[in-house]
Structure formats: structure tokens, C-alpha cells
A and B are shown apart, each in its own frame.
Chain A
Amino acid sequence: MTADHSPLILVADDDADLREMLAMVLEMHDLRVVLARDGIEALARARSTPGLALVLLDLMMPGMNGADVLEEIRRDPRLASLPVIVISGDVRGSEIASSLGADGYLGKPLGVNDLMREVDRFITVRKPGPAHAPAPAS
């Protein structure tokens, strides 16, 4: 459904349902999604996936948490310029995000508009395709 040149986003979150939800919403907006369930997988995917445009990174993950992943990404010259949006349920999430050097922050529970607005800062987001046209205003 999405074109091959659609922007590719890495979504890293240990919550399977949330991963699935984020993927669905992004795909509805003609974006392609690559998933990771923990920090180690996230880093591996970031290194091995060509053409990544953006990373959505949950802070709390097993193994290697989001903060460590971000640090690694910044340290890797090939990845350093990759935009990273941090997702967190922590009340101090936005402080933590900026102190980590993230490019954006989304607080849980996040909504569709919040999500897409943040994503739009880094990727030109097309309106949802015809298959997903907004319902007539009622």
C-alpha cells in the first residue's frame, strides 16, 4: 500500500500492543515501519536498516533502555544525525528527553494528533491515503 520511497520509521517499544498500534497509525499515513521489541534489537535495526528517516524510541525497555540506545546512536557516526523521538510514561519525560539529546518527545498516553505532529517535524507527512480518508465531519 505504501510506496517504496515512503519514509521509513523505526518503532522501538517493549509493549507489543502499543507497537502494533503505532505501526497501524503510521502506516495509515503512508509511512513504512520497522519494529523492535527491546534496546538491543533497536540498535541492531538502526544499524542494519538503510534509509531510516526517524526513530520512535520508548525509554523503558528490557536489556538496553532507550537512554542507552540513544547514546549509542549519537556515538555512531553513521547514525548520529538520525532524528530520535523519545516516548515516555514518566512525568519528567520531557526533561529527560532534552537532557538525553533527543530531537522530540511524546508522553504517554499519546494520541494520534500528538504523534503525527511530532513525526511531521522530521518527515513530510502526507494526509492519510484515500483508503483512510477522514470520516465526514458530523
Chain B
Amino acid sequence: MTQIDPGQTIAEILTDHSERLGVFRRHGIEIPAHGRMTLDALCAHRGLDRNQMVRELEAAEEEAPRAGAFEWDLASGVVRWSADLCRVYGIEPGEFGGTVEAFLEYIPPEDRERTRHLIERSLEKRKSFTYEHPIVRRDGATRILYSRVDIISGDGEPVRMVGTCWDVTDQQSIDGSLQGSVSLLRSTLEATIDGILVVDRTGVVTAMNARFLTLWRIPNQIVGEHSDDALLAAVLDQLEEPERFLAKVRELYANPERESFDVLRFKDGRVFERYSRPQRVDQAIVGRVWSFRDVSERERLLTQQTFLADSSRLLGSLEIESALQALARRAVPYLGDACAIDLFEEGEVRRVVSYARDPSRPLELVRPSRVDVPAIYDVGPTPHLAVPLMAKDRPVGTLIVAFQPSPRRLYTRADRDVGEELGRRIALAIENARLLREARAAIAARDEFLSIAAHEIRGPLSSIRLAVESLQNLQLAPEIRDRMLALLNREGRRLARFAEDLVALGSLRAGELSLEPQEVHLTDAVREVCERVSDEIQRSGSTVSITSDGPVIGYWDRFRIDQVVMNLLSNALKFGLGKPIEIHVEAHEGWATLVVVDRGLGVAEDQRDRIFHPFERGVSVRHYGGLGLGLYIVRTIVSQMGGTVHVEPHPGGGSRFIVRLPQASTA
């Protein structure tokens, strides 16, 4: 290899060793236009001593030359190519024609004009230039050359054109694959659902993907402005807490190595997760990558589930009215600015709950036209949502919510769905409360029944005990003894009837009443019952008279008719205060009527239906003993026969019990 004389200027080196240009270039050295840098200056520039420099240059020469140099003497028109340049063009040194035209032969025809034009212009302007162009070698291969050309002048006129050409075809394919990598990264960036923003260490935006712009709803106009300030302003404007956003950004700029994660809440209800990490090249931090993910839907579902869970918890209380109050408070503001609950009770609508978020801005909650389906509707400017409270297939009430007219918020299908689910849960809670009330009432009634039953038994037992003890321990006069024995008999029958009543109660409740209809003469049946209890009638002090306009015949179950008559008569005897009792029987247009009149205490108006219910008494239990089953038994039997029974006051004091039965069978 040719020795490099340290004292030579670069230009001289280049003239001799123009291939070195490629070496210099590969080492990142820019060659100044005049090329007057000495080797020493070069060494100083590179920070190497001469020996190192020389060794480097020698080592570089080992590499296959991918560059060559040329020189064009303008006066003579001769073009000289270095041996390397010939090899770049795929010819042997010496095979080159030595003219500009010979050079242009290697340029593809479509580029020749451009090349010629470039040469002429640079000569005119005496300016150095770089030029990238394809060549076609003699073997047909197309290569891309990158040339740096200098114009050497003398006495104000261009004298020579010198240049170096590099074969950069592979570099282009490296660039190409690099471009391919970049393209792959770019499409990945565009394909992700996260919005990505990259900033440098001063906060200037260096990259972003389209999703970022969509997520943040950045208008095209701001995108076009390329103004980071406008971009930031557009972002901050949408957030609930812009200061908190900025504080985080500042904190991270102060601490570039930190990763961050937080949640952004928007004024319009959207929710984003924000994540960032430093951007590194090798180990150095050059910026920050921000990534944004829209989790609004997930947040919405979470809020909805939390709301429904809270609602179920509140509805778990058995105090239903206070539970509904608490529920209405919870529903605001999630479902509306005001909430009301209406319940249907016995054909009427009652608003049991009404709650408003802001009492100073009252909202009238208007009922929907249909109460069996959920509905979204406007009442003037006020958006409403109403959902039915459905117990099985029957609406038992309505839940109504509404928003203030402004800021305008519309009810969505999602709102309607969660409302409908809430409506179901409320109805269930109401139903449960009702069942609990009924169960408690049934238990209370049972307990009262049991205590009354026990009490009812104690009366006859007292008589029995007194009689038995007397018979056992005392020597009784015969008539006394007979009276006691008769009494024991009566008490026995009394207890037996009581037991029958209990059995009847059981079968009536179970609905197992079976009827065996036969022809019955009602007047005769009444008379027989009176005879059966003649003792009781006598002891009561009452007289019983039976009247009728003629025979009354019906097709009925004889045993049940007896029960009806017996119970009505017992009732009259018990409450008749010893006054006369009248029984009247008649028939008219296929209906038989039985009337039992007593002149006792009478029944108060508000009790006239209650006394036919089991365990209910016409007067308080404190005043009366007994179970109050008799009238319940009467009504159940009579209803099952297709008839009716009711009580009216008897003028002058007492009661008229009126039974109407169809004479024909109703089976």
C-alpha cells in the first residue's frame, strides 16, 4: 500500500489515494471542500495519533472497495477513473473510455439528460454537489451510486471537477429493511387500541398514532397546526381534574426514569387508563412514551354492578318502606336527579317514596302511560325513565327517575336495562315483605287460636273437675248426683263438638270440603237442630221460634246444612243475652233464604265482614271467650254451595244473619 506522507494535505492524499475518501466517510468524517486538512489535523480531529490513523487507514483498505474516485480535466476534456471506480463499474482498470460521454454510457438512458444538466449547472455555479444515481454495469446489474463532486477553480474559472462515488445499493437495501422495520413498527402502532404519544425530554411531541387522536377527539385543525400547546389545551379541556393531570406530567418530567399509571376521568363520563415509561436509546433516556386506554365501558359496568349490589343490600332490610327510601337516595344521582316509587294497592296508586338530589330545583316525576313495560320518555324538557316493579307477571308498582333538563342527559338502553333489573329486585323485596307480614300474621293468629282454644277447653274442664271431685269425695243426694252426671254428659258433648269444629277448621282450610247433596227440607233440618240443643236453649233463657211461608226444599249436603244451622244458632244463643231468637225460612225464584235473628249485642258496622273470618271476633277477645270459628265455618260452607251469608243490624237491637242458597245443586 502506498505510504501516506503526514505532511501531505488531504487533497493530495485524495489525489493519490482517492479511495480513502470512502474510508473517511465510513468513519464519519466530513471532508471540507478545500481538502486542505493535513493528516495531523485529521488526527487531531479524530483524536488519534498518526500511527493509529495510519493503521486505521491501512485496515480500512483491507475492505473491499465500494467506492472510487474520478477526475475531469476541463481543459483537455479527459476523465480519469481510479482503479477502484473501474471495479465499481464492473470493468477492468484501463477499460474506461476516458470521456464524459463514456461515463454517460453507464447511466440509464432516462437519467442521462438529468445528469448532463446537473453537471452543466454545477460548472456554471461552481458549486459542489452530491448526487445519487443508478448505473447499469456492463454485466447488466443495476447499482445505485452516491457521488460527492467538487469543482476546483483556478484564476476564477473552473479547472477541474473531482469526485468520489460510493456504491450504496446494499445500504439502500439495508435502508430498505430498516424501512421495512420502521414500517412494521408503524403498522403495529396504528393497529393497537391504545393511543400512543411520544414526547422528547423537553415535552415536544415526536410521535403519535391515529388512535391517540381518535381517543382524545383531537380536531383535524389542531392536528394540522402541529402545535403542542393547542394539543395540550384540547386534552385538558376534556378532563375533570386538569391540574392533577398537569401535576403528574411535571412530576414525571422531573423524574424521567419513572414509570407511571393512573386513571383519567372526563367531564363527559369517559374514563381512560394512562400509562407511561421513558423512551430509551441504548441506555440513555431520550423522551417518554404515553399510552392511553379507554376503559369507560368497563368502568360503566363496574359502576352498574356496584349499584345493583348496593341496591340488593338495601332491599334486604325487612322494613320495606325505609328500605325503599334508602334505595331512592342511592339511585340518585346514578339513575337520575330525582327518584320516586309508586305502589299499586287495591286499585289505587300510592307514591311511597320521593327523593330529589337538589330540593331547591324540584322535579315533577310524571307517571308513564303504561306500567307493565320499561319506558324512556320526555315530559316537556325533562327526560324520564320508568320501570315496572314486576312480581311474577304482575306489576305491583313503578320506579320513576328523571334528570334535570340541563345539562342535557339522555337515558340510554343500558340505563333502561339496569332500571328493569332494579325494578325486579324491588318487586321481589316488596313481595318478601308482604309474605313475611302474612306469615307473622298467620303465626300470631295461630298463637291466638291456641291460647283461645286452651281457654275454651278450660271452661268445660272446670265443670268436669268440680263434678268428678264432688262425686268422688262427697256423699251426694241423689238429685244432686243426677244433675252432676247430666252435666258431665253435656260437657263431654260440648268438648266433642269443639273437637269437631277443630277438624272442620282443618278441612275447610285445606279446601277438602266434600259435599254429598241430597234432598233436604230446610224447615225440618232447622227444627231437628233446635231439638238437639234444646237443653242449651233452655239454659240460655232464650226462646227459639221457627217460622216459614211454606216448605223449602233444596238439594244440599245434609251434614253441612246442619253445621250451618248449628253454628248460627250457637252464635245467637251465645250473644243473644237470653232474649228471644227467631229463625225464618223461605224460598223465592230458586233461592232458599234462612234468617236467624237475635236481640243481643249486635255487630258493629266495621266488624260485619270481619266476624266471618277465622279467629276474628265481633268484639274484642277480652270481652268474649271462644274461637270465633262458627261464622267462618258457615261462610265457607255456604260459599262452596254457591250461596251467600251476611249480617245486618236488627232494628231495636241485635243481629239478623241472612243465608241465601240456591235450591238446585251447584255441583
Q: With A62-B574, A62-B619 as given contacts, are A112 and B463 in contact (CB-CB < 8 Å)?
A: no
Q: Which of B348-404 contact A (CB under 8 A)?
A: none
Instruction: Determine whether A111 belongs to the interface, using a CB cutoff of 8 Å to chain B.
Output: yes
Give CA–CA (A137, B152) in the complex, Å. Answer: 164
A44 within 8 A of B: no
Q: Are B475 and A134 in contact (CB under 8 A)?
A: yes
Please classify the interface of chain B as helix (H, G, I), strand (E, B), loop, or mixed, using the class held by over half of its residues.
Answer: helix
Q: How far does the Cβ of A87 sit from chain B's closest Cβ, in whole Å?
A: 8
Interface residues of B in 473-496 (CB under 8 A from A): 473-477, 480, 483-484, 487, 490-491, 494
Q: Does B344 contact A (CB under 8 A)?
A: no
The residue that B473 contacts in the complex, of A61, A67, A112, with Cβ under 8 A, is A112
Interchain CB contact under 8 A, B577 and A21: no
- Residue A71 interfacial (CB < 8 Å): no
Q: Which of A11-19, A72-80, A97-105, A117-125 is found at the contact surface with chain B?
A: A11-19
CA distance A62 to B622 in the complex (A): 9
A62 / chain B contacts, CB cutoff of 8 Å:
574-575, 577, 600-601, 619, 623-624
Q: With A21-B487, A60-B624, A63-B623 as given contacts, are A108 and B458 in contact (CB-CB < 8 Å)?
A: yes
- Name the contact of A109 in the complex, choosing from B461, B474, B536, B619 (C-beta under 8 A): B461
Closest CB of chain A to B234's CB: distance in Å?
A: 81
Q: Are B466 and A21 in contact (CB under 8 A)?
A: yes
- A28 within 8 Å of B by Cβ? yes
Cβ contacts under 8 Å, B619 to chain A: 62
Name the distance in Å between A99's Cβ and chain B's nearest Cβ: 14
Give complex CA distance A76, B541 in Å: 29
A residues in contact with B480, CB < 8 Å: 24, 28, 132
* Inter-subunit contact B462/A18 (CB<8 Å): yes
- Is B643 located at the chain interface by the 8 A CB criterion? no
Q: Among A18, A21, A28, point to the contact of B474 (Cβ < 8 A).
A: A28
Specify which of B458, B469, B541, B624 is in contact with A112 (CB 8 Å cutoff).
B469
- Counting chain A residues whose Cβ lies within 8 A of the other chain, the interface size class is 35 or more
Q: A18-B463, A60-B624, A63-B601 are in contact. Are A28 and B577 (CB under 8 A)?
A: no
Q: Which residues of B contact A132 (CB under 8 A)?
A: 474-477, 480
**Do A109 and B465 contact each other (CB < 8 Å), given the known contacts A60-B623, A62-B623?**
yes
A60 touches B455 (CB 8 A): yes
Is B153 part of the binding interface, using a Cβ–Cβ cutoff of 8 Å? no
Contact in complex: A133, B475 (CB < 8 Å): yes
Chain A, residues 52-89, CB within 8 Å of chain B (1/0): the string is: 00000000111111010000000000000000000001
Across-interface contacts of A135 in B (CB, < 8 A): 472-475
Q: Does B578 contact A (CB under 8 A)?
A: yes
Cα(A64)–Cα(B624), bound, Å: 9
Q: How far is the CA of A50 from the CA of B469 in the complex (A)?
A: 32
Shortest CB–CB separation between residue A115 and chain B, in angstroms? 7
Residues of A within 8 A of B465 (CB): 109-112
| Neighbouring A residues of B454 by C-beta, 8 Å | 89, 91
A112 and B623 contact, Cβ closer than 8 Å, known pairs A37-B578, A60-B455? no
A22 within 8 A of B: yes
Contacts of A90 in B (CB 8 A): 455
The docked-state distance in angstroms from the alpha carbon of A134 to that of B540 is 33
Q: Which residues of B, 15-73, contact A by the 8 Å Cβ criterion?
A: none
Inter-chain contact A25/B466, CB cutoff 8 Å: yes
Task: Tell me, rounded to whole Å, the shortest Cβ–Cβ distance linking A123 to chain B.
Answer: 18
- Beyond the given A17-B463, A21-B467, please list 7 additional residue pairs across the A-B interface where CB-CB is below 8 A: A17-B539, A21-B462, A24-B470, A89-B455, A89-B458, A108-B462, A132-B480
The 5 closest A-B pairs by CB, nearest first: A89-B458, A109-B461, A108-B458, A109-B462, A89-B455
